[in-house]
Amino acid sequence: MITLFENQTSNGESPVIKLDSDFSKRNNKTAERVIVATGVFGGATVTIEISGNGVDFAPLTNNTFTTAAAKSENLPNELYIKATITGATGTTDINVHVA
């Protein structure tokens, strides 16, 4: 499992992580992954972004979170992923994981 945020309480970007860096590497190139966002959002939005080179990122259209949820996406191992939190308030406390 990849952790993008753990108890994040403010706006910001997660570290950039290559999808093949976790122990649950997929055998096929377009393996389904589950992106899970949990915690207290307090008005915050989490946007999941991907990149082919680790520098130029684009948001995943269907993977924006404003409440706790789990969403699946077919993502090749060679992609990079990061999460961005905007709109955090004093009550925000968010976790984001990719499995």
Tens of each residue's pLDDT in the chain, 99 residues: 899 999 999 999 999 999 887 655 555 555 788 999 999 999 999 999 999 999 999 999 888 999 999 999 888 888 999 999 999 999 999 999 998
Alpha-carbon dihedral angle through residues 81, 36, 74, 14, given to the nearest 10 degrees: 0
Instruction: Identify the CATH number of the domain in which residue 23 sits.
Output: 2.60.120
Beta-carbon neighbour count of residue 52 at 10 Å?
Answer: 12
pTM of the model: 0.90
DSSP secondary structure letter of residue 15: P
Domain span including residue 83 = 2-98
Q: Which pLDDT belongs to residue 26?
A: 57
Q: Residue 78 class from Cβ within 10 Å (0-12 exposed, 13-18 middle, 19+ buried)?
A: exposed
Q: Which pLDDT belongs to residue 93?
A: 98
What is the number of structural domains in the chain? 1
